[in-house]
Amino acid sequence: MIEHVHAGLTFKNLYARGPQRSFVVASVNGRPTGNARYLDGKTKVSIGAPSPAGQVDGVPQEKLEVTGVRGLDTQIEKLNDLLSQFTDPWVFKGKPRYRGIVIHGGHGTGKSMLLNTIAATGWGTVYRIQPKDKLAEIQDMFQKARLEQPSIILIDQLERLIDKERNNRTSVIQALCEALDTLGADAQETGEIPKVAVVVSCLDYTTDVPEDLKDPGRLTGEIYLPLPDVDGRKEILASFNLRVAPEEEDALLRSLSERTHAYNGKDLRRLVDEAEFIARTRINRTKRETTTAPSTKDSVNHDNQPAATEEVASLMNSLQLSDADATTTTTTTEYFLPADYEEALRLVRPSAMHDVNLKPPPIHWSDIGGQASVKVSLRRAVRMSTEPTHVLSRFFARPPKGFLLYGPPGCSKTMAAQAMATESGLNFFAVKGAELLNMYVGESERAVRRLFQRAREVAPSMIFFDEIDSIAGQRSGFGHGGSSTSGGSSSGLNVLTTLLNEMDGFEALTGVVVLAATNRPQALDPALLRPGRFDELIYVSPPDEEARAAIFRKEAEKRQMLIGEEDIERLATITDGFSGAEIKGICAVAGTRAYDRYLKLDSLVEEDTPVGITMEDLELAAKGMMRQITPEMIRGFEQWEKQFRRY
């Protein structure tokens, strides 16, 4: 016995006074819409034969299939497989289970475009749920879609609809769960998936879709849209029909696709639009200059007229104008130049890198005195991140990906990371550990996951954790009054756990280097130091005498120092035990003394009197500078190095 009936309800394979037949409810109590409780003898139900597959009321429907999207072949194939559940009959044993579809991926990867493409198929009535919609409106749309099949429900940016700032967030999530459960119940009752396609988009399926909505029968059809690879970028660029000469198109497509690493589809669209703007601006300027040039009648010598005519003709040919166009000079060029796209490439940055340090401070290896072994290790790390897999497989089962720089403060650990990023050309993600712990509960772990995800997408790349001890302290210190610097909170422990999990998956971090720096390696959790996470532990020691001399020479090149090579050697000797940062501090203090002297003598100083930093200034500054690196500190690093030394 059926308790509720509604228009569109289908009864399949029934025996009623003859052969097996199927029926569909056409109306209830004379109405083609609405849901009613069936009361025998009171509820009037009109029935009819179901329409053939792909038809409603005998009218052929468009096919629910996405086509014509370039650069996402694998994803489109999976999407169409999921959409087919709403059109293909269920021919297997048992009852089908409803599956809502979630399309997720970074900004500009094509989520909204795919939703619009699904809406444009014409397969059914389209309902769009917006973030501003009220709870009653959301429930009403699901009700209408269920009664007016076939129908499509689209929710773009689910994370905005159920934003944590929304007062009735829990009620909205519950309403979505109930609506999907109703569709699932229809599937169990009729043996066919209801023709109601629910398609949702969000940035990250793992974090943006609540656990309740991931239950079986709800939003379980997941499609991830990655950043396009080189072949995908070429396909996307080709779909924009670049307005260059046919013989130049293939070379330009190949060049742009190879040089637009980390660009998403929206970035590529912006790139092409910018190139067209550059081309039109160039062409219009050329036309204005041509039309405003002095006429040959007024200002051109008749003897030079043939040369002027040839020059104009050459200009017209370069602009691809016909003879008729040349007389009016009002039409645009037929083709743009590859140089227009090259210039646009310098102006349009990938949006995936807008909020990270893509261009670190321009530090070079030559700016760092000494540390030869550190430079060798880091240069090797960069080389391995870009080396083909078949080459690395000759030497490594799993190439090292994690590198920890440890040592006393002020010894160029951060500078080494910046130099590595500057000279390697890797996409550079710089994170201070303490910044992650200042976020809301749960946001720190999400930030770590997204950081690694984005690094994978824009590889070759480098993630640099400065002050990593603030988020990776020993777990015995979390919440137990230990020595961990992570604030003694469960948040710090969760961040460490997330970091361990992400680094454990180095086999998926192809082309990604993880670099970290700390002054307190003894505070780090041992699990982070095992091979497979941080494979190389690199000690960045205080500069030796040769390195100190190199730092003084480099500082002398930047300012007016009245010293010679013998003075530099003496300064390197008297600054034994100072860090590189302290040596730079000595030069800064000496510069202040020299500047004060310059101000007092400014009006009296003779023209031939040298003005600058003297050896006396530097010696006095060195005497007044306190050494932060103590012998006990050095012994502590040496003991720790013996404990964890790899080779």
CATH number for the domain harbouring residue 79: 3.40.50.300
Residue 353 lies inside a defined structural domain of this protein: no
Kindly report, residue by residue over 459-511, the tens digit of the pLDDT.
778 888 888 888 877 765 444 444 444 444 555 677 788 888 888 755 456 77
Task: Say yes or no: 514 and 443 in one domain.
Answer: yes
Residue 607 lies inside a defined structural domain of this protein: yes
**Domain-ending residue, one of 30, 50, 70:** 50
Residue 23 lies inside a defined structural domain of this protein: yes
Q: How many CA atoms within 13 Å lie on the side-chain side of 496?
A: 28
* DSSP bridge partners of 152: 126, 197
Task: Say yes or no: 510 and 601 in one domain.
Answer: no
Kindly report, residue by residue over 541-582, the tens digit of the pLDDT.
888 888 889 889 888 888 888 888 999 999 999 999 898 889
**What span, in angstroms and rounded, lies between the C-alpha atoms of 10 and 25?**
6
Q: How many CA atoms within 13 Å lie on the side-chain side of 332?
A: 10
pTM of the model: 0.55
Task: Say yes or no: 507 and 551 in one domain.
Answer: no
Task: Say yes or no: 530 and 556 in one domain.
Answer: no
**Domain-ending residue, one of 278, 313, 348:** 348
What is the structure's pLDDT at 366?
78
Task: Say yes or no: 530 and 479 in one domain.
Answer: yes
Element (H, E) at 516: strand 512-518
Q: How far out from the chain centre does Cα 12 lie? A: 49
Domain range enclosing 490: 365-539
Kindly report, residue by residue over 9-23, the tens digit of the pLDDT.
666 555 444 445 556
Angle at CA of residue 408, ends 404 and 412, nearest 5°: 70
Residues in the chain: 647
Cα torsion through 340, 341, 344, 348, rounded to 10? 170
Q: How far out from the chain centre does Cα 194 lie? A: 36
Domain count, the chain: 5
- Residue 150 preceded by cis peptide, ω within 30: yes
Task: Say yes or no: 533 and 561 in one domain.
Answer: no
**What span, in angstroms and rounded, lies between the C-alpha atoms of 189 and 4?**
12
Kindly report, residue by residue over 165-188, the tens digit of the pLDDT.
888 999 999 999 999 999 999 999
Residue 637 lies inside a defined structural domain of this protein: no
Task: Say yes or no: 311 and 440 in one domain.
Answer: no
Residue 160 lies inside a defined structural domain of this protein: yes
Kindly report, residue by residue over 87-140, the tens digit of the pLDDT.
988 888 888 899 999 999 888 888 999 999 999 888 999 999 999 899 999 999
**Domain-ending residue, one of 539, 560, 581:** 539
Task: Say yes or no: 559 and 494 in one domain.
Answer: no
Closest Cα to residue 612, out of 587, 644, 584?
587
Query: How confident is residue 322, by pLDDT bands cut at 50, 70 and 90?
Result: very low
Residue 357 lies inside a defined structural domain of this protein: no
Task: Say yes or no: 279 and 420 in one domain.
Answer: no
CATH number at residue 554: 1.10.8.60
Closest Cα to residue 186, out of 1, 25, 34, 10?
10
Are the beta carbons of 553 and 370 closer than 8 angstroms? no
Residue 443 lies inside a defined structural domain of this protein: yes
Task: Say yes or no: 421 and 497 in one domain.
Answer: yes
Closest Cα to residue 336, out of 462, 198, 241, 207?
241
Task: Say yes or no: 426 and 409 in one domain.
Answer: yes
**What span, in angstroms and rounded, lies between the C-alpha atoms of 323 and 321?**
7
Residue 235 has phi, psi (to 5 degrees) of: -65, -45
What is the structure's pLDDT at 101?
94
Angle at CA of residue 420, ends 417 and 425, nearest 5°: 130
Task: Say yes or no: 422 and 470 in one domain.
Answer: yes
